[in-house]
Amino acid sequence: MLAGLTWGAWDALWQVLPKDERGNVSQGDVLLQDCENTLVLSEGRLIACVGGE
């Protein structure tokens, strides 16, 4: 479902979704370690991000 979004749509999505204290947006089965201002959406499998910005 999300794969058809264009870059502008991803940016708009990041701007309107709630962020954590480090500016990250995550939904679904997501692990974030030392990430800032990152958008990660999982619709199934676990996604792990380390040191993303």
Domain, as residue range, for 10: 2-50
Contact 51, 36 (CB under 8 A): no
For the chain, the domain total comes to 1
Within 10 A of 18 (CB to CB), how many other CB atoms are there? 7
User: Nearest to residue 31, comparing CAs of 15, 50, 18?
Assistant: 50
Tokens linked to 18:
């709630």
pLDDT in tens, 1-53: 455 556 668 888 888 999 999 999 999 999 999 999 999 999 999 999 999 78
Q: Any idea of the CA torsion for 51, 12, 41, 22, to the nearest 10 degrees?
A: 40
Contact 34, 49 (CB under 8 A): no
